């Protein structure tokens, strides 16, 4: 024990309440912009993998987008998929390794635009995988272009006067859409905008990995996230934007839960 600061300091055994994942998450700085939600979700995923003791049984699929290098942070076997195809790649892995834990990780452009067919059919087949869907309403890596989930009126580099829904359609609520498919087992929308939300997201991810063992269908977890750089905001402003603008369109909560 360290020496006492005060003479009357009582002897207290401190309980360890948090420890970053030591094995499943590499001890390296994230390359993400300050305030970005990706790093939090990466850490949570690997926290869950480590806590469940499934690091050696897990195979992840990285997307194209800002999180293309997810395997530089997540210390599990991983495959890097083409843009939009992560759930097809995950299907291929899971079908030949049905007893392993398989997850895909994609952004909104990847999962809800170019990969729409793969997303819908993967869930419709009820592939026993976890699909993580990061929705920040923008193409971050290519420099802030309009995404399928960009809000009406939202300014991006390809909707410079705000998203005109009469021209390009409305933001796609992919999570509600896949929840309608019989192959979906657990579908939820969570966020990472404050500590409470982070705790709830962790629970959702934990459940999703546990459900995989049951082989009853796809677990689909949307994470409403932010992109301070793409949104041209400070991290604090971006969190306010999530609360004031994203949540009314993308309400947080479970959309489909298993019948107990």
Partner 1 sequence: MEKEIRNDEPRLMKGNDALAEAAIRANIDAYFGYPITPQSEVIEYLTREVPNRKEKNIVVLQAESEVASINMMYGAAGAGARVMTSSSSPGISLMQEGLSYIAAAQLPCLVVNVVRGGPGLGTIQPSQGDYFQATKGGGHGDYRLIVLAPNSVQEMADFVFEGFKLAEKYRNPAMILSDGALGQMMEKVYLPEDNSLPKNIPDWATRGKPKGGKQRVITSLHIQPEKMEQINHELLAKYELLQSEVRFEEVSTEDAEVLLVAFGLSSRICQKVVDLGREKGIKIGLLRPITLYPFPSKRLNELADQVALMMSVEMNAGQMVEDVKLAVNGKVPVFFKGRMGGMIPTPEEILQSLEDHFENIKVVG
Q: Which is nearer to partner 1, 53 or 248 (CB)?
A: 53
Q: Which of the ranges 94-102, 143-151, 163-171, 249-257 carries the binding residues for partner 1, by CB under 8 A? A: 94-102
HSE-CB at 121 with a 13 A cutoff on CA atoms is 12
Residues 113-152, one symbol each (x = binds partner 1 by CB under 8 A, - = not), give: ----xx--x-------------------------------
In the complex, least distance from residue 208 CB atom to partner 1, rounded to whole angstroms: 18
Classify residue 7 as exposed, middle or buried by CB count within 10 Å of its CB (0-12, 13-18, 19+).
exposed
Counting contacts by CB under 8 A, is residue 245 touching partner 1? no
3-state SS class at 101: strand
> Over the range 43-58, which residues count as b (16 or more CB within 10 Å of their CB) and which as e?
bbbbbbbbebebbebb
Counting contacts by CB under 8 A, is residue 95 touching partner 1? yes
In the complex, least distance from residue 63 CB atom to partner 1, rounded to whole angstroms: 11
- Rounded Cα gap, residues 229 and 143, in angstroms: 9
State which of residues 40, 48, 66, 89 lies at the interface with partner 1 (CB under 8 A): 89
Counting contacts by CB under 8 A, is residue 80 touching partner 1? yes
In the complex, least distance from residue 43 CB atom to partner 1, rounded to whole angstroms: 17
Q: Which is nearer to partner 1, 111 or 242 (CB)?
A: 111
| Listed residue (129, 135, 139) closest to 220, CA to CA | 129
| Listed residue (169, 189, 205, 203) closest to 246, CA to CA | 189
Neighbours of 227 (CB within 10 A): 28
Residues 32-71, one symbol each (x = binds partner 1 by CB under 8 A, - = not), give: -----------------------xxxxx-xx-----xx-x
State which of residues 96, 167, 248, 253 lies at the interface with partner 1 (CB under 8 A): 96
| Listed residue (221, 44, 259, 54) closest to 130, CA to CA | 221
- Rounded Cα gap, residues 247 and 237, in angstroms: 15
State which of residues 33, 52, 100, 145 lies at the interface with partner 1 (CB under 8 A): 100
Counting contacts by CB under 8 A, is residue 184 touching partner 1? no
Q: Is the dihedral of CA 240, 243, 244, 245 positive or negative?
A: positive
Beta strands in the chain (DSSP E): 58-62, 77-80, 101-107, 130-135, 138-139, 145-146, 184-191, 218-224, 253-256
Q: Which is nearer to partner 1, 79 or 170 (CB)?
A: 79
Q: Which is nearer to partner 1, 55 or 170 (CB)?
A: 55
Q: Which of the ranges 96-104, 145-153, 194-202, 250-258 carries the binding residues for partner 1, by CB under 8 A? A: 96-104
Can you give the binding site for partner 1, defined by CB under 8 A? 55-59, 61-62, 68-69, 71, 75-82, 85, 88-97, 100, 117-118, 121
């Amino acid at each position: 024990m360290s020496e006492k600061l005060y003479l009357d300091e009582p002897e207290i055994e401190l309980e360890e309440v948090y420890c970053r994942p030591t094995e499943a998450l590499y001890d390296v700085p994230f390359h993400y912009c300050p305030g970005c939600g990706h790093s939090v979700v990466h850490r949570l995923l690997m926290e869950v993998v480590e806590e469940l003791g499934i690091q050696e049984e897990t195979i992840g699929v990285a997307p194209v987008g800002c999180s293309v290098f997810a395997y530089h942070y997540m210390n599990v076997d991983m495959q890097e998929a083409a843009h939009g195809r992560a759930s097809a790649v995950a299907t291929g892995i899971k079908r030949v390794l049905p007893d392993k834990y398989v997850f895909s990780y994609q952004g909104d452009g990847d999962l809800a635009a170019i990969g729409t067919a793969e997303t819908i059919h993967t869930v419709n087949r009820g592939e026993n995988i976890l699909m993580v869907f990061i929705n920040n309403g923008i193409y971050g890596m290519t420099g802030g272009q309009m995404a399928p989930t960009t809000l009406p009126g939202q300014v991006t580099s390809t909707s410079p006067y705000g998203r005109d829904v009469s021209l390009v359609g409305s933001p796609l609520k992919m999570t509600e859409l896949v929840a309608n498919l019989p192959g979906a087992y657990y579908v939820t929308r969570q966020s990472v905008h404050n500590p409470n939300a982070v705790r709830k997201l962790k629970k959702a991810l934990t459940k999703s990995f546990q459900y995989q063992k049951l082989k009853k269908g796809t677990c689909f977890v949307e994470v409403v996230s932010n992109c301070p750089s793409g949104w041209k905001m400070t991290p604090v402003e971006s969190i306010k934007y999530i609360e004031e603008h994203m949540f009314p369109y993308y309400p947080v909560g479970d959309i489909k839960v298993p019948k107990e």
